[in-house]
Amino acid sequence: MKYTILIAEDDEDISNILKLYLESSGYRVLAVFDGESAYQATQEDTVDLALFDIMLPKLDGFALTQKVRQNKNIPIIVLTARIEDNDKILGLNLGADDYLTKPFNPLEIVARVNAHLRRSHALNQFARMTEKPSVLSLGKLELDTEKYTLKKGGKDIPLTPTEYKLLTFMMKSPGRVYTKSQLCEVVNGEFYENYENAITVHISNLRNKIEDNPKMPQFIKNVRGVGYKIEKAN
């Protein structure tokens, strides 16, 4: 099975390089050059993963990510020439799973695409092989690993693929402490330097969704100098 990668990049040279490397790795590639065409492609074609440049015409990468997230759960990697942390954090807050700053090594793009698809489709394969729903419960939280749904007190809570991976991993071992490096490997399949800040953002987004008061979290706790753990809320 060939996975389909959508590239939304208005620089034709960059788009062609990404397309060349991804096709050489066995992927089917759709290339578009503006945000509106990218959104349309996610609705009309089977897209397994998307690469979105931030500075797109018609619909920028931030707005595009937010719009796609309304009805699609595919992994999204944003590409940006901006080096400011605020821009990276905004992309993650809007639903992106990962980001890369230009200039980048095309081989790293391929590696991250491989990692996100490996994680995403391994989870799908596991769900298909499970005859009965497997539900992880923690207090008011119920995570269904077959249906990829989270409920809190019976109310549905939407998650991005990255948030789902992190929460599933932590809920399987309540009370266990994980470093940011370990959580990075959960998301990407391996550790990437400078990705620890992204983990902080993903954890913050999870808290905003599952905590009654994100500033005083009862589920996901900081362990100073080490990392994070999840436990039953008081």
Question: What pLDDT score does 192 carry?
Answer: 61
pLDDT on residue 83: 67
Question: How deeply is 205 buried, as exposed, middle or buried, from its count of CB atoms within 10 A (0-12, 13-18, 19+)?
Answer: buried
pLDDT at 131: 45
The pairing of strands 220-223 and 227-230 is antiparallel
Provide Rg for the chain, Cα atoms: 18
- Residue 137 near residue 154, CB atoms below 8 Å: no
Please enumerate in sequence order all residues whose Cβ is within 8 A of that of 120, keeping only pairs 6 or more positions apart, or say none. 48, 49, 74, 75, 161
Mean pLDDT, rounded, of the chain:
86
Residue 35 contacts residue 47 (beta carbons within 8 Å)? no
Residue 61 corresponds to which tokens in the numbers above? 């990468």
Which residue stretches of the chain have pLDDT < 70? 1, 83-84, 121-133, 189-195, 233-234
Instruction: Mark out the alpha helices in the chain (DSSP H runs).
Output: 12-24, 35-44, 61-68, 85-93, 106-129, 161-171, 180-188, 196-210
Residue reference for tokens 């071992």? 173
In the prediction, which pLDDT does 2 show?
86
Question: Which structural domains are found in the chain, ordered by start?
Answer: 4-123 (3.40.50.2300), 131-230 (1.10.10.10)
